[in-house]
Amino acid sequence: MPDISPAPPVQDPFPPDRFAGPVVQADQLDVRYGKNVALNNVTAVFPTGAVGLLGPNGAGKSTLLKSLLGFLVPVKGSMKVLGLDVASSALEIRERIGYMPESDAHIPGMNAVTFVAYCGQLSGLPAVDAMQRAHEVLYYVGLGEARYRNIETYSTGMKQRIKLAQAIVHDPDLLFLDEPTNGMDPKGREEMLELIHDLAHNKNVNLILSSHLLPDVEYTCDHVVVMDKGTVSTCGPIAALKGSHGTVYELRVKGEQDRFIEVLRAAGYEVADTDEDVMRVFVPGGSHHGPKELFALASRQQIQVRHLRLSMPTLEDVFAKAVGEA
């Protein structure tokens, strides 16, 4: 008699419930390199989804990621990744995360598919599964045609892609991406950002993207943690941070721009210089009288306003305010 038992239910290839709670929690974290303080009392919560870790060079972004990986032992504080304590469960954490380092990194003497499969095996995948997934992820990152080439012959952009491939081959719950677009040409950068966006928003991979490039974070992430000088300057959903910032006006005046900036700052406005003599003036809150107030100030100082336009607040504004560049 033929077997007429019902077929097993088809599993959703991208079930959304990878991890429900905050993917990373850092509590009063202090990390030092000898006498140099790299992280100073860092407390931050990284929610699920795509989170940008923003900051200028030397802000402590990479140090934070390396601490979360267990490479650096903090002198104070605690960290949890995927609900597990970094100090006591580093291996269990590393089994569930993928790390794409900032610097050029590969295992010498291997072609791409061998390298990625090897990384899969090191992460616990059986050899056959690791090889199958290596082929798949290499196609995914756009290296399908070059997968039998030795990695040492790869261009910088290809090396960035292979680093992403080795980080996702074992299907991690959380990805750490450290400056993933470094050294890439504009087209390659765009493709890399597209991949990261796709991973985060279509494949439900939680990720933390460390970058000093604001557009990269703005395009790929929903939340942001801004770091400066080893501390967290601000954090939250990008949309909320931009919205709570008030109104931004682009302003150009005739002559004595520096003096007018000082006047604006004295009047309590935040001003950021941009190129081409245009300044961005932040008017806090939801006041609709911003233009009137700006014209009045200029009039009192006998300065001619040549250009005034309402502008959309950007992540750059959030960043500038957070790191005190305004």
Partner 1 sequence: MPIHDQGYRRYLGTRSAIGGSWQVMTRAGVMALISKRQFIGLMLFAWAPFVVRAVQIYVSATFTQASFLAPKGETFREFLDQQGAFVFFVTIWVGAGLIANDRRANALQLYLSKPMTSAEYIAGKLTILLVFLVGVTFLPAMMLLLTQAMFAGSLTFIANNLYLLPAITLFSIAQVLLAATTMLALSSLSKSSRFVAVMYTGLFFFTTALFNALRGITGRSSFAWLSPSASLEQLGDVIFRLEPRYQLSPAIAGLAVVVMIAGSIWILTRKVRGVEIVT
Contacts to partner 1 by CB under 8 A? 11, 13-15, 33-36, 66, 69-72, 91-92, 94-95, 97, 99, 101, 103-109, 118-119, 121-126, 129, 133, 136-137, 139-142, 144, 166, 168, 170-171, 194-195, 198-199, 202-203
> Both tokens of residue 127?
């050899």
Min dist. Cβ of residue 219 to partner 1 (A): 16
Min dist. Cβ of residue 201 to partner 1 (A): 12
Of 41 and 150, the one with the shorter C-beta distance to partner 1 is 150
Of 58 and 144, the one with the shorter C-beta distance to partner 1 is 144
Of 171 and 273, the one with the shorter C-beta distance to partner 1 is 171
Of 159 and 321, the one with the shorter C-beta distance to partner 1 is 159
Of 126 and 284, the one with the shorter C-beta distance to partner 1 is 126
Helices 257-266 and 290-300: angle between axes, nearest 10 degrees: 120
Measured between alpha carbons, how far is 238 from 303 in angstroms, rounded to an integer?
35
Min dist. Cβ of residue 288 to partner 1 (A): 43
Min dist. Cβ of residue 299 to partner 1 (A): 55
Q: What is the 3-state secondary structure (H, E, C) of the chain?
A: CCCCCCCCCCCCCCCCCCCCCCCEEEEEEEEEECCEEEEEEEEEEECCCEEEEECCCCCCHHHHHHHHHCCCCCCEEEEEECCEECCCCHHHHHHHEEEECCCCCCCCCCEHHHHHHHHHHHCCCCHHHHHHHHHHHHHHCCCHHHCCCEHHHCCHHHHHHHHHHHHHCCCCCEEEEECCCCCCCHHHHHHHHHHHHHHHHCCCCEEEEEECCHHHHHHHCCEEEEEECCEEEEEEEHHHHHHCCCEEEEEEEECCHHHHHHHHHHCCCEEEECCCCCEEEEECCCCCCHHHHHHHHHHHCCCEEEEEEEECCCHHHHHHHHCCCC
Min dist. Cβ of residue 105 to partner 1 (A): 4
Min dist. Cβ of residue 308 to partner 1 (A): 42
Of 57 and 202, the one with the shorter C-beta distance to partner 1 is 202
Of 99 and 319, the one with the shorter C-beta distance to partner 1 is 99
Min dist. Cβ of residue 205 to partner 1 (A): 9
